[in-house]
């Protein structure tokens, strides 16, 4: 049996988008209350009854959470243009080696704006 699970995280960070036109509001430094949802999919372990221990997912994301929380995302190598789309791809790239069942990363930068990365 294959099952999909998700684990969500939240952090606050600032950013600006350097490649937008000068008059665009996102070109100014501003902050978001980000929500990240990691999607994992795999076989259900018959003995344990789960796909992956949620504690392992939390431990894998912790270094990124510490890197992102209350930071200016533009200062992080690889996130010089930290759109929600590029942030989702960055998170996937960082976590896939330690979470091989990771299938997608969702980044919500507001209650109404979400980017989903599915390589």
Q: How far is CA 22 from CA 17, 95, 109, 111, 113, in A?
A: 10, 34, 21, 26, 22
**Residue 26 bears catalytic tag:** yes
**Residue 108 bears catalytic tag:** no
Q: Which residue out of 30, 66, 70, 80 is catalytically annotated?
A: 70
C-alpha 15/C-alpha 30 separation (Å) is 6
Q: Which residue out of 15, 92, 108, 109 is catalytically annotated?
A: 109
Which sequence positions are flagged as catalytic? 26, 70, 109
């Amino acid at each position: 049996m294959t099952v999909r699970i998700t684990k969500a995280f939240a952090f606050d960070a600032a950013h600006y988008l350097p490649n937008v036109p000068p008059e665009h509001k996102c070109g100014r430094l501003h902050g978001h209350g980000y929500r990240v949802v990691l999607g994992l999919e795999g076989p259900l372990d018959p003995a344990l009854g789960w796909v992956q221990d949620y504690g392992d997912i939390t431990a894998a994301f912790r270094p990124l959470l510490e890197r992102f929380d209350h930071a200016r995302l533009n200062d992080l190598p690889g996130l010089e243009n930290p759109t929600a789309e590029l942030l989702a791809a960055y998170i996937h790239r960082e976590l896939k080696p330690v979470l091989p069942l990771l299938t997608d990363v969702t980044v919500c930068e507001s209650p109404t704006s979400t980017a989903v990365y599915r390589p």
